[in-house]
Amino acid sequence: MPGRQGTADMLIIGGGVTALSISYHCARAGIDVILLDPDDAEATVAQAARPVRTYQPGKVHNSELTVRSLADYRAFTPAGGADLVLSDIGWLVIPVDRQEAVELERESAAQRAVGVELEPLTPHQARTRNPWLDPAGTESAVWCPQSYLLDVDKVVRGYADGARKHGARLLAGQRVTGLDSKNGHVATARGEFAAESVVLAAGAGSCALATSAGLELPLWAQSAELFRTDPVLTDGGLDTPFTVHPASGLKTLGSGRSFLVGLERVSKQEGMRDVWFRQAAEELAARYPKLKDVGLHSVWTGTVDVTPTRTACIGRARDAHERIFVAAGYTGQDLGQAPATGRIIRDLYLGRSPGIDLAPFTLTPSTPVQSGA
Q: How many CB atoms lie within 10 A of CB 64?
A: 23
Question: For strand 119-121 and strand 141-144, is the pairing parallel, antiparallel, or unpaired?
Answer: antiparallel
Q: How far apart are CA 142 and CA 57, in angstroms?
A: 10
| Closest by CA position to 54, among listed 336, 276, 272 | 336
Q: Rounded distance, CA 27 to CA 19, Å?
A: 12
User: Distance between CA 198 and CA 288 in Å, rounded?
Assistant: 47
* Predicted TM-score of the model (pTM): 0.91
> Which one-letter DSSP state was computed for residue 3?
P
CB atoms within 10 A of CB 170: 24
φ/ψ of residue 62, rounded to 5: -70, -40
What percent of the chain is helix, strand and coil (3-state, nearest 5)? Answer: 35, 30, 40
What is the model's pLDDT at position 2?
Answer: 37
Q: For the chain, what are the domain ranges?
A: 4-47+152-219+309-370, 91-145+221-306
Q: Closest by alpha carbon to 324, among 356, 349, 353? A: 349
Residues in the chain: 373
- Find, among 82, 210, 221, 105, the residue nearest to 155 by Cα: 82
pLDDT for 5 equals: 54
Cα–Cα distance measured from residue 162 to residue 301, given in angstroms and rounded to the nearest whole number: 31
What is the 3-class SS of 228-281, one letter each residue?
Answer: EECCCCCCCCCCCCEEEECCCCEEEEEECCEEEEEECCCCCCCCCHHHHHHHHH
- What secondary structure letter does DSSP report for 76? B
Q: Is 292 helix (H, G, I), strand (E, B) or coil?
A: coil
91-145+221-306 is classed CATH 1.20.140.10 = no
Q: What is the pLDDT of residue 3?
A: 37
Contact 326, 179 (CB under 8 A): no
Q: Give the pLDDT score at 368.
A: 37
CATH number of 4-47+152-219+309-370: 3.50.50.60
Q: Using DSSP, state whether 218 is helix, strand or coil.
A: coil
Beta carbons within 10 angstroms of residue 280's beta carbon: 22
* Per-residue confidence in pLDDT tens, the chain, 373 aa: 333 458 999 999 999 999 999 999 999 999 999 999 998 777 665 567 888 999 999 999 999 999 999 999 999 999 889 999 999 999 999 998 899 999 999 999 999 999 999 999 999 999 999 999 998 888 899 999 999 999 999 999 999 999 999 999 999 999 999 999 888 999 998 889 999 999 999 998 898 999 999 988 888 888 889 999 999 999 999 989 999 999 889 999 999 999 999 998 877 888 888 898 999 999 999 999 999 999 999 998 888 899 988 999 999 998 889 999 999 999 999 999 999 999 999 999 999 999 999 999 986 533 433 444 3
Phi then psi for residue 116, to 5 deg, are -80, 135
Residues 6+ apart with CB under 8 A from 332: 224, 264, 304, 306
Rounded CA separation 117/126 (Å) = 16
Torsion of CA 188, 194, 198, 203, to 10 degrees: -10
Pairing verdict, β 369-370 and 324-328: unpaired
Identify the pLDDT of residue 360: 94
d(CA 77, CA 57): 29
For 95, residues 6+ apart whose C-beta sits below 8 A from its C-beta are 101, 103, 104, 139, 140, 141, 142, 245, 246, 247
